[in-house]
Amino acid sequence: MQNGPTVLSLLLVVSTLAACGGWGGRTGPDPFSTGDERSFSIQVENLSSEDMRVAVLGPDRRHDLGQINPRSTGRFAIPLSEHAQVRIRIEPISGSPHTMPAMTVEPGDHLELFLQFPASRSMLRR
């Protein structure tokens, strides 16, 4: 039977292509992507002796970064698909909350936030 090896080879090729998503199948996210294309990062450094809660306010979402302890640093990635205006909300455990002016960010941007007490003295930079 000569068709046996040909049919077996053809079946092997078809199943391999199907498993790999060939022939116009859906492709997933790029496995070599760093994720920077879909988010921006923010490093938060608390220079004060006060615990502070921090949130990033986007056009349609609030991303709570949580509590940043005194004299500590946290790094966060915020999902973002395109450029947007964001504001930073700082809430000291004791003291008045402060919302920073809006800043335009794009996927891949890296921001640095330096927390001080009172919160209105905090600084945000690229």
Domains of the chain: 34-125 (2.60.40.2890)
Give the residue with greater pLDDT, 61 vs 47.
Answer: 47
pLDDT of residue 2: 62
pLDDT of residue 15: 63
Q: CB neighbours of 89 closer than 8 A, spacing ≥ 6?
A: 54, 55, 56, 57, 62, 97, 98, 99, 100
- pLDDT (average), residues 86-93: 97
Reported as a pLDDT band with limits 50, 70 and 90, residue 26 is: very low
Q: End-to-end CA distance of the chain, in Å?
A: 71
Does the pLDDT at position 8 exceed 80?
A: no
Please, where are the H alpha helices in 1-126? 3-19
- Structure tokens given for 7: 């049919």
